Amino acid sequence: MNKNGADASDFLPWYREGLRFECTGCGGCCTGSEGYVWVSDDEIAGIAKDLGLEIDDFGKRYLRRVGNSKYALLEDRSTGDCVFLFGRRCMIYDVRPKQCRTFPFWAENLKSKKNWEAAAEECEGISEDAPLHTFEEIERNLD
């Protein structure tokens, strides 16, 4: 406790006790309204390699350029499905981009309890029955 009577833990975010989540593989976050699944150069190289494609080929088939230098995965304009979503399964699960690996622990969802509850309406894996992710684990996702 400091001289003002505050504990160090008083300055930690609202989710300092951790949050409960376990992906059910429902595919809900891979579809829906228009959005961007951003991919870095390293991720592009990793996914292309996994699929046995040259980077140029991979780009032509699966990427869209946004602005001058950013890339996102293609999506079906009518359904909003990510190009790699087949049925409810991600076809590149082991090499999926960080944006996918870290959902729902995104800064915008963690901004407030209200935002987290809004995310829970879209993601069935956020549940009181799911395993607890510690504060430290959650913070690592934000790096």
Chain residues binding ligand SF4 by CB under 6 A are: 23-30, 37, 73, 82, 84-85, 90, 92, 96, 100, 103-104, 123-125
DSSP 99-131: HHHTTT--HHHHS-HHHHHHHHHH-TT--TTSP
> At its nearest, how many Å lie between ligand SF4 and the CB of residue 22?
8
**Whose Cβ is closer to ligand SF4: residue 73's or residue 110's?**
73
Largest Cα–Cα distance in the chain?
62
φ/ψ of 141, rounded to 5, equals: -65, -25
> At its nearest, how many Å lie between ligand SF4 and the CB of residue 139?
19
> At its nearest, how many Å lie between ligand SF4 and the CB of residue 71?
13
**Whose Cβ is closer to ligand SF4: residue 71's or residue 84's?**
84
* Six token digits for residue 15: 């989710």
**Whose Cβ is closer to ligand SF4: residue 10's or residue 57's?**
57
Cα–Cα distance for residue pair 4/19, rounded to 1 Å: 29
* Six token digits for residue 68: 């001058």
**Whose Cβ is closer to ligand SF4: residue 10's or residue 76's?**
76
> At its nearest, how many Å lie between ligand SF4 and the CB of residue 116?
13
